[in-house]
Amino acid sequence: MRIAIMGSGGVGAYVGARLQAAGEEVGFIARGAHLAALRESGLRLETPEEPLHLPQVTATDDPAALAPADVVLFCVKLWDTADAARQLRGLVGPETRVITLQNGIDSVDMVTEALGGVGRVLGGCIYVSAVIDRPGVIRSPGGFHRIVVDAAGGDPVVAAFVQACGRARALECEATDDIAAALWQKFIGLAGVSSTTSLMRAPMGRILSHPESAAFQRQLFEEGIALARASGVHIADGMADTMMGMVAKMPPSFRSSMSEDLERGKPLELPWLAGRMHRLGLAHGVPTPAYSAAYRGLVVHERGAAAG
């Protein structure tokens, strides 16, 4: 398959590297020092599971140079979505599947609007922990690396993409008939852990070690579940217990990508995570005291350190 990666950072470069190593034709869209390093020294994955160095990768800041593509994986931070999607207009044709792997529940709508209806935009999400450690180098603690993608009524291109992921090492992918539930489940979990790890400036082990901070974590999950149900999304009974069980199994040093962004002085995806929960609560008349506190406690950092 010809696969283009829009946004070759933690998520995009991790997935793209795994797919290229498995024999797929991958093009990486990147910019700045990271692009220069990819062109000069290739792409390196530093991880305890299947570390990888691809000495040569196709890297560009011009998406049109990668046309035609069967699949574009859309992996920029949410604040870059509209600009990055507009830049894809020279790459995406009527048959191109654009699969979003961003967090939150808004990507498909945002990308579809920015692309002006060209291509088929499909929802997806990814469970992985990966960051750009330095230009050309992605660091991941490993442990999980699973994509969930919209089956889109048995779309053969999606099926081929799932198979391609299946041939790759340290990457899994499943297609689902209920992408809304899959995106919401990730949203509830991620909005919850990004709020605590960012607000408390602490890894998951410390958050769960105190009954009050652990109770706050659970309250966030419960509010997210109430909002999903108010939005008409089916969430299984006992989901708060399931999610607390999942965070308890995470490495004690676990931090969310948003807490990494906070530490690095970058903008935060807050408006689409805790901020989105806060606004949904207002819209549905569902009380969200924990999310409103998390959002209000982080909002001054939303635009990053450079914004002052």
Ligand X SMILES: CC(C)(CO)C(=O)C(=O)O
Cα separation of 214 and 241, whole Å?
Answer: 12
Q: DSSP label at 143?
A: S
User: Is residue 103 a contact residue for ligand NDP (CB under 6 A)?
Assistant: yes
Helical ranges in 99-233 per DSSP H = 107-115, 156-167, 179-199, 204-209, 211-230
Check binding of 145 to ligand NDP (CB under 6 A).
Answer: no
- Strand 145-150 relative to strand 124-128: parallel, antiparallel, unpaired? antiparallel
Query: Which residue lies nearest ligand X, judged by its C-beta?
Result: 257
- The tokens for 202 are 């602490």
60 is a contact residue toward ligand X (CB under 6 A): no
Q: Is 190 in the site for ligand X (CB under 6 A)?
A: yes
Work out whether strand 43-46 and strand 52-54 pair parallel, antiparallel, or are unpaired. antiparallel
Supply the minimum distance, in Å, between the C-beta of residue 156 and ligand NDP: 26
- Among 133, 258, 265, 241, which residue's Cα sits nearest to residue 200? 258
Is 257 an interacting residue with respect to ligand NDP (CB under 6 A)?
A: yes
| The one among 87, 129, 195, 217 contacting ligand X by CB under 6 A | 129
Residue 100 binds to ligand X (criterion: CB under 6 A): no
Stretch that binds ligand NDP, among 40-48, 121-129, 145-153, 232-240 (CB under 6 A): 121-129
Given candidates 257, 267, 278, 292, which one binds ligand X under the rule CB under 6 A?
A: 257
Q: Cβ(35)–Cβ(59) under 8 Å?
A: yes
Is cis: bond before 68, omega within 30 of 0?
A: yes
Which residues, 27 to 56, sit near ligand NDP by CB under 6 A? 29-32, 34
Interface with ligand NDP, residue 277, by CB under 6 A = no
| Among ligand X, ligand NDP, none, residue 85 binds (CB under 5-8 Å by kind) | none
DSSP at 79: G
Cα–Cα nearest to 141, from 215, 69, 45: 45
Binding-site partner at residue 101 among ligand X, ligand NDP, none, CB < 5 to 8 Å by type:
ligand NDP
Question: Per CB under 6 A, does 98 bind ligand NDP?
Answer: no
Nearest-5° angle of CA 77, CA 246, CA 203?
A: 60
Radius of gyration of the chain (CA): 19
CB of 177 to ligand X, least distance (A): 22
- Chain contacts with ligand NDP (rule: CB under 6 A): 7, 9-12, 29-32, 34, 61, 75-78, 80, 83-84, 87, 101-103, 126, 128-132, 257, 269
- Chain contacts with ligand X (rule: CB under 6 A): 103, 127-129, 190, 193, 256-257
